[in-house]
């Protein structure tokens, strides 16, 4: 692929927009080349029912810049008490596109998450029946399990049974980070897929400790070994439709990252397509970029392809040191560094 090159506008199938003053900042920072995004529901309090999801959608749309065509695709936050009836209401709304499973305590604002998957047997069955996808944060919370092993432990201990008990249920492993997760997705049929973040494609766990502790590189699931990163690169190089873009852009104000107990999350919303382009270029598989960012996710979710195009140029630019975030600021991925690609809308 030669530059400049033009592709369809993109779908971000995993995005955190937060709420309140932070939401007001983030809606202004969504690149116009992002057409749609699956919006994460782990607010305080979490978005646990359809009424709350629709109200949150209204707040997002109200905060968008004039003329924006961005479409938020809403999700519900699964708890031990999520009912089959709530799944039906969500599906019938036409605005809720998935249900997110957070194991309780696994990541930011997940304390209200699921403690026992067996409590949700009927709910999973109803999701399969009505065609409501399940998005999964695939990590165990057992403190005896090493933080670098929590994803692969979850797959065999918990997720395997859910998938095999519900063969018609569409399941998305969110932000996969390990060789085992990539292999797991490939071992099942077309109803099992995965999102991959740009930072897990670009960096391994050494980036957290380069020259000292790098709090803005800390995320959950945490960056893994180089062998795992190479497996993720192998997934995108394969061109498989089972893998697609989901940035998991997860902003926190600077003070909450640079503290004695810093929050997990990497902010990538500001340059999602540029980061993915860099990863695909370095992996020598730019021919698969458009499918990964603009086609595979939509097809898996049963959505039409978006309209509009974006042109990517081979053009150096320096990532700002920070962006506004509520009353503070957020430090973006690769702040102060040069990115070799720049994207702009065509229509």
**In sequence order, which residues have a C-beta less than 8 Å from that of residue 330 and are 6 or more positions away?**
251, 252, 253, 254, 267, 322, 323, 324
The question of whether 248 is a catalytic residue gets the answer: yes
Measure the CA angle with vertex 109, ends 108 and 114; round to 5°.
105
Closest CA to 245 of 284, 179, 199: 199
Could you tell me the pTM of the whole model?
0.97
304-331, pLDDT tens digit by residue?
999 999 999 999 999 999 999 999 999 9
- Within 10 angstroms of residue 68's Cβ, the number of other Cβ atoms is 14
Q: Per the residue annotation, which of 248, 284, 321, 345 is the catalytic one? A: 248
How would you classify residue 319: left for phi > 0, otherwise alpha for psi between -120 and 50, otherwise beta? beta
Please state, in angstroms and as integers, the Cα–Cα distance from residue 265 to each residue in 155, 208, 212, 256, 257, following that order: 22, 12, 18, 10, 8
Nearest 5°: phi and psi at 320?
A: -55, 155
Give the helix ranges, DSSP H, for 258-337: 272-282, 289-290, 296-301
Q: What is the pLDDT along the chain (347 residues), one digit of tens a residue?
A: 789 999 999 999 999 999 999 999 999 999 999 999 999 999 999 999 999 999 999 999 999 999 999 999 999 999 999 999 999 999 999 999 999 999 988 787 778 899 999 999 999 999 999 999 999 999 999 999 999 999 999 999 999 999 999 999 999 999 999 999 999 999 999 999 999 999 999 999 999 999 999 999 999 999 999 999 999 999 999 999 999 999 999 999 999 999 999 999 999 999 999 999 999 999 999 999 999 999 999 999 999 999 999 999 999 999 999 999 999 999 999 999 999 999 987 54
As a whole number of Å, the CA-based R_g of the chain is 19
């Amino acid at each position: 692929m030669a530059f400049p090159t033009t592709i369809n506008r993109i779908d971000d199938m995993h995005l955190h927009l937060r709420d309140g003053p932070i939401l007001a900042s983030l809606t202004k920072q969504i690149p116009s080349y992002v057409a749609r995004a699956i919006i994460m529901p782990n607010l305080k309090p979490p978005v646990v029912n359809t009424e709350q999801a629709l109200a949150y959608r209204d707040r997002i749309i109200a905060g968008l810049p004039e003329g924006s065509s961005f479409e938020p695709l809403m999700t519900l936050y699964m708890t031990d008490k999520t009912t089959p009836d709530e799944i039906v209401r969500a599906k019938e709304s036409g605005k809720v596109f998935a249900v997110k499973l957070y194991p309780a305590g696994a990541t930011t604002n997940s304390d209200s998450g699921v403690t026992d998957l067996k409590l949700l047997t009927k709910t999973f069955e109803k999701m399969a029946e009505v065609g409501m996808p399940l998005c999964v944060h695939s990590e165990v919370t057992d403190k005896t399990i090493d933080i670098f092993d929590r994803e692969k432990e979850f797959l065999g201990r918990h997720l395997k049974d859910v998938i095999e008990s519900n063969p018609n249920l569409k399941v998305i492993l969110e932000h996969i980070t390990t060789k085992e997760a990539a292999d797991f997705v490939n071992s099942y049929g077309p109803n099992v897929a995965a999102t991959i973040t740009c930072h897990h494609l670009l960096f391994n766990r050494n980036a957290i400790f380069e020259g000292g502790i790098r709090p803005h590189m800390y995320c959950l699931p945490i960056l893994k070994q180089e062998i795992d990163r190479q497996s993720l690169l192998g997934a995108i190089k394969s061109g498989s439709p089972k893998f697609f873009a989901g940035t998991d852009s997860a902003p926190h104000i600077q003070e909450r990252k640079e503290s004695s107990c810093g929050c997990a999350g990497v902010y990538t919303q500001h340059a999602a397509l540029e980061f993915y382009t860099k990863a695909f270029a370095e992996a020598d598989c730019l021919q698969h970029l458009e499918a990964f960012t603009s086609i595979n996710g939509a097809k898996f979710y049963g959505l039409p392809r978006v309209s509009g195009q974006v042109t990517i140029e081979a053009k150096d630019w320096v990532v700002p040191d920070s962006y506004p975030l509520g009353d503070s600021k957020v430090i973006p991925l690769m702040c102060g560094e040069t990115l070799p690609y720049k994207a702009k809308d065509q229509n």
